[in-house]
């Protein structure tokens, strides 16, 4: 396992990669065969600082999956007292629900899989809480795995975490993150 890190005055990103050999952080070999491709991309985390909180919230909204207005919509029980909506359109299913101030969406071509993955996430989030702020959780089922991205805003900072193989790994990464104001390790979550 290795990573590619980038940072500027207003953002940072750490992209995690599997590697067939031991590589240092930011090694140019990360982008060379046999270490290339989505199969080797594990996930990422990072943050972007905006001038104002409203700009961070505006950026957050771009991560909500668009559902066709022509989609057939049905209510669905996801368990643990959570109801959501299922949208069906052009052999694509999307389940959507809210967890606090988070908009959660799971989308894919296999309706049963989308429902099961949504219920699995709801069950996990019933016990493990996302940060208490505005956020989006998007899972897109693909042949290569569950491309999962979570984004959340705290003040003027937009945080992000992703995993391109397993949705639950991205969710666990977000839940494990803690904010330490002034560099003090307080253990208090957001």
Pick the more confident residue, 186 or 170: 170
Residue 99 lies inside a defined structural domain of this protein? yes
Per the structure, the count of domains in the chain is: 1
C-alpha span between 17 and 83 (Å, rounded): 36
The DSSP symbol for 130 reads P
Average pLDDT of span 150-177: 93
What element of type H or E holds 96?
strand 92-99
Assigned domain for 189 exists: no
Calpha distance 179→69 (Å, rounded):
38
Show the domain range for 164: 2-183
Task: Tell me whether residue 145 is in a domain.
Answer: yes
> pLDDT tens, 96-141?
999 999 999 999 999 999 999 999 999 999 999 999 999 999 999 9
pLDDT in tens, 26-85: 888 777 777 666 557 788 999 999 999 999 999 999 999 899 999 999 999 999 999 999
The mean pLDDT of 145-149, rounded to a whole number, is 88
Predicted pLDDT of residue 187: 42
- Please indicate, yes or no, if residue 188 is contained in any of the structural domains: no
37: alpha, beta or left? (left if phi > 0; alpha if psi -120 to 50): left
Cβ neighbors of 139 (< 8 A, separation 6 or more) are 105, 106, 107, 108, 117, 121, 146, 147, 148, 167
Whether 125 and 171 have beta carbons less than 8 Å apart is answered as: yes
- Given a contact cutoff of 8 angstroms between Cβ atoms, the answer to whether 95 and 137 are in contact is no
pLDDT tens digits for range 2-33: 888 899 999 999 988 877 778 888 888 777 77
Q: What is the DSSP code string of 13-29? A: EEEEE--SS---TT-GG
Asked whether residue 190 is domain-assigned, the answer is no
- Helices (H) and strands (E) counted in the chain, each on its own, are 3, 10
Domain contains 134: yes
Judge whether 122 lies within some domain.
Answer: yes
- pLDDT for residue 144: 74
Q: Structure tokens of 76?
A: 């669905």
C-alpha 29/C-alpha 26 separation (Å) is 8
């Amino acid at each position: 396992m290795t990573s590619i890190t980038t940072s500027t005055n207003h953002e940072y990103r750490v992209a995690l990669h599997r590697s067939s050999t031991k590589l240092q952080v930011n090694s140019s070999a990360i982008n060379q065969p046999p270490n290339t491709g989505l199969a080797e991309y594990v996930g990422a985390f990072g943050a972007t600082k905006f001038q104002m909180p409203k700009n961070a919230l505006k950026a957050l909204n771009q991560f909500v999956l668009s559902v066709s207005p022509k989609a057939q919509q049905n209510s669905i029980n996801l368990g643990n007292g959570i109801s959501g909506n299922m949208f069906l359109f052009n052999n694509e299913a999307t389940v959507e629900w809210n967890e606090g101030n988070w908009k959660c969406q799971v989308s894919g071509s296999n309706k049963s899989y989308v429902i099961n993955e949504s219920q699995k996430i709801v069950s996990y989030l019933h016990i493990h809480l996302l940060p208490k702020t505005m956020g989006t959780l998007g899972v897109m089922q693909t042949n290569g795995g569950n491309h999962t991205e979570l984004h959340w805003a705290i003040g003027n900072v937009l945080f992000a975490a992703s995993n391109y193989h397993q949705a639950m790994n991205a969710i666990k990464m977000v839940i494990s993150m803690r904010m330490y104001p002034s560099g003090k390790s307080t253990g208090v979550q957001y």
